[in-house]
Structure 1
Amino acid sequence: MSVERSGTARVPRALRGTRAVVLDTDGVITDSARVHAAAWKTAFDGFLSPRGERPFDPRDEYLRHVDGKSRLDGAAAFLEARGLRPSEDEVRAVAAHKELLFTEQLRAGSVDAYPGTVRLLRALRSAGIPLAAASASCYAGELLEHAGVRGLFDALVDGGEAARLGLPGKPDPALFLEATRRLGVPAGHAAVVEDALAGVEAGRRGGFGLVVGVDRARTPATRTALLKHGADLVVEDLAELLTQKED
């Protein structure tokens, strides 16, 4: 492991100089992105099928239009991208259907934390680096609790907090900036870790010192898209940051 000392602990090379790390929840900390995508597919297909539209692609269209956004923003963005003009009530109905489906899966306990992410979180905590989780989902805290990692974070800004504070959704950086404010570290000295295109763009717009993209799809196209939207580096698993060698 190539690292730098921070007190008596060691910091991965890619995070040298970083004084705090903010991580998205779905797809970065927990494998809940797949559950979100499956719920969206069922909800969207129920809307698309009677209109003769092709089914929702839970991989490409989820990443491009829905991932990282609030339910209403994601539903509206996807349907508009398809050239549809749904009413506000229709958008809300699709979003509510998705919410019901996701909640059922969450209650079934089918979401875990990525082992590589947990390894990195423990290493950063040992190095004395403050950590925050930030998510557009109102269920972020519950997801972290179910996955057994809530105690690794010094702060959490979820969808409920974002609504209470009136924070705009990604790609606006407000959610991440609120997380760094709670950690007491300027964005320029903090890192953001995201798997969503809207999320890495938010990190870039927020002036974060480092934006790490996580490519769970593991394809050249998604890697390129993450870099194009603002990621400084892209990994397939966060454990890679613990094994990087010196140049």
Structure 2
Amino acid sequence: MATAANRSDPARSVTGLRGVVFDVDGVLTDSAGIRAAAWKAAVDRCLEALPESRFAAWQRHPFDEVKDYLGLVCGKSRFDGVLAFLASRGLRLPEGEPGDEPGCGTVRAIAAAEERTLFDLLDEHPVNAFADVEPVLGALRAWGVKSAAVSASSRANDVLITAGIQGLFDTVVDGSEAVRLHLAGTPDPALFLEGAKRLHVPPAQTAVADAAPTGVEGGMRAGFGLVAGINRETSHERAARLYTHGADVVVHDLVGLLRAGLGRWEGP
């Protein structure tokens, strides 16, 4: 298994890449903020509803839309995200049933509440693709490099369609496919591996691009040829976390990914 310590120099240029697997939120579209807001609204409501006797006062702090989103829930299924958040606050709730209505009494009820909140926010605030996405995908296609978009979210395909970029990928693996195929969310690399499998490109000749620490950790675990952390906000703290979790390179945009992974950029 590859580790951050035994991988080659982060500044290396990989010339044998034949595929790129992109996460969606924060990499291709500006939807990460909306997802973080949905998580905050859902779990903060439940923190307020639970009696103080359930946890120590220091554990009752609200959901942080940067640290908690990236560190606890981003890239995971809703169920696993709720479990991670509850554990961070010293809480345990019954698992519940798949059909639980949105609420705060079970893990699945909180997951349903986050899902409903997200759908409402996406209806109110349609997402957009970042400006570099279309030219970069066009360049990859021109060079014969295949591309996949993957996400643990069941709405990822809809997000890509709304953003006008769904048809630019050779394949898309979203949360509904992940459920059907029993693919775990990050840091498990199952989604990335499924994307590479559908591209018919081995992981060693495939790059992974993700904005979340758990995502780059998944790419590193699976031995992908290049693991790129996407740090569009140019946060030094986030860059450090991405490197710590296994990123070979941390770049501000997808053009940086091409320069790092293919050693060239021939943009419009």
Secondary structure, counterpart of 1:113 in structure 2: coil
Which is worse superposed, 195-204 or 102-111?
A: 102-111
Residues 29, 118 of structure 1: 8 Å contact kept: no
Q: After superposition, give the CA deviation of every residue in 1:140-166 in whole Å (9 maximum; x if it has no partner).
A: 111111000011100111111111111
Q: What residue number does 2:40 align with?
A: 41
Shift of 1:55: 1.2
TM-score normalised per structure 1: 0.89
Equivalent position to 1:67, from 57, 74, 97: 74
Secondary structure, counterpart of 1:133 in structure 2: strand
Equivalent position to 2:156, from 140, 161, 164: 140
Q: After superposition, give the CA deviation of every residue in 1:18-77 in whole Å (9 maximum; x if it has no partner).
A: 100000011111111110000000001101123452211111111111111111111110
TM-score normalised per structure 2: 0.82
2 CA distance for matches of 1:33 and 1:95?
17
Shift of 1:16: 2.5
Secondary structure, counterpart of 2:192 in structure 1: helix
Q: What residue number does 1:121 align with?
A: 137
2 CA distance for matches of 1:99 and 1:164?
18
Residues 23, 150 of structure 2: 8 Å contact kept: yes
What is the one-letter code of the residue matched to 1:222? R
Residues 76, 184 of structure 2: 8 Å contact kept: no
1 CA distance for matches of 2:182 and 2:63?
30
Secondary structure, counterpart of 1:88 in structure 2: coil
Q: What residue number does 2:166 align with?
A: 150
What is the one-letter code of the residue matched to 1:34? G
Overall identity of the aligned pairs, in %? 49
How many equivalent pairs are there? Answer: 234
1 CA distance for matches of 2:49 and 2:248?
42
2 CA distance for matches of 1:128 and 1:171?
29
Residues 141, 156 of structure 1: 8 Å contact kept: yes
2 CA distance for matches of 1:45 and 1:87?
18
2 CA distance for matches of 1:19 and 1:242?
12
**In the alignment, does 2:128 pair up with 1:108?**
no
Q: CA distance change for structure 1 residues 121 and 15 in 2, over 3 Å: closer, same or farther? A: farther
Q: What residue number does 1:10 align with?
A: none
Secondary structure, counterpart of 1:86 in structure 2: coil
Q: What residue number does 1:6 align with?
A: none
Secondary structure, counterpart of 1:115 in structure 2: coil
**In the alignment, does 2:26 pair up with 1:27?**
yes
Q: What residue number does 1:5 align with?
A: none
Which consecutive residues of structure 2, in runs of 5 or more, have no partner in the other structure? 1-11, 53-59, 97-105
Greater than 6 Å deviation, 4+ residue runs: 243-246
1 CA distance for matches of 2:259 and 2:246?
23
1 CA distance for matches of 2:147 and 2:69?
27
Shift of 1:109: 4.8
Residues 68, 197 of structure 1: 8 Å contact kept: no
Q: Name the one with the larger helix percent.
A: 1
Residues 49, 55 of structure 1: 8 Å contact kept: no
Cα RMSD (Å) = 1.8
What is the one-letter code of the residue matched to 1:28? V
Shift of 1:168: 1.9
Which consecutive residues of structure 1, in runs of 5 or more, have no partner in the other structure? 1-12
Residues 134, 156 of structure 1: 8 Å contact kept: yes
